[in-house]
Amino acid sequence: MAAVTPLLLLLLLSSAPSFSSGSRNAYNINGRVKIPQGLGLGTKGYALPGRMSNVKVLLNGGQNITFLRPDGYFSFHNIPAGTHLIEVSAIGYFFSPVRVDVSARNPGKVQAALTENRKGLSELVLEPLREEQYYEIREPFSIMSLLKSPMGLMVGFMLAVAFLMPKLVENMDPEEMRRAQEEMRSQGVPSLSSLLPGGARN
């Protein structure tokens, strides 16, 4: 492997749609997929075993499919001249499709641009635009979220009624209070205590 890498590098760096020795109208497209290390390390939620081996490079919506070598290089063979579209499929990363012009007039000239942001590429080195996080992050438990839930609000309201209402009643004028109580009794409005066991004593 080591013997061939420099050779490959030379070939790829010199011309990235490079001219092939095959028939007149067929060209090769060579490029590289680069997934920055730092980007990968940030991913905690899901591990991607054999990350590089599961990356696919697709030409023109799946007309040709190729895979990455261990160093990230890929190539398409026998491609006719024209404007092509390269897509990279990698779980966990978002790659922009790349427009690649393979011209018959000046073979070896690089004409590549990301279609998402129309950025031109001087070399066919494809990098993910962003990482894709497929799962929602669970909010850590907090008292606030518990209090905000319908049940929390219910309990809160109950407590408020149980402890604040007596306070309100205390602040009332005793005369008025008595009058209100008497009124209540005469009307026979069932109070809470009368509903509960023991309330019958009143």
Contact residues: another protein, CB under 8 A = 1, 3-4, 20, 22-23, 28, 45-46, 50, 52-53, 56, 58, 60-70, 75, 77-80, 82-85, 87, 89-92, 94, 96-97, 99, 102, 115-116, 132-138, 140-141, 149, 151, 154-155, 158-159, 162, 166, 192-193, 196, 198
Paired residues of 87 in beta bridges: 58
To another protein, the closest distance from the beta carbon of 85 in angstroms equals 5
CB closer to another protein, 42 vs 134: 134
Strand order across the beta sheet in which 98-102 lies: 64-67, 56-59, 82-89, 98-102, 112-114, 120-121
To another protein, the closest distance from the beta carbon of 158 in angstroms equals 5
CA dist 35 and 90 (Å) reads 10
CA dist 121 and 113 (Å) reads 5
Q: Are 126 and 89 in contact (CB under 8 A)?
A: no
26's CB contacts (< 8 A; 6+ apart) are 20, 77, 78, 79, 80
**Of the candidates 136, 40, 31, which has an alpha carbon nearest to the alpha carbon of residue 90?**
40
To another protein, the closest distance from the beta carbon of 127 in angstroms equals 15
To another protein, the closest distance from the beta carbon of 151 in angstroms equals 4
CB closer to another protein, 6 vs 188: 6
To another protein, the closest distance from the beta carbon of 178 in angstroms equals 10
To another protein, the closest distance from the beta carbon of 125 in angstroms equals 18
Paired residues of 131 in beta bridges: 93
DSSP for 140-189, please give it. Answer: PP-HHHHHHSHHHHHHHHHHHHHHHHHHHHHHS-HHHHHHHHHHHHHHTP
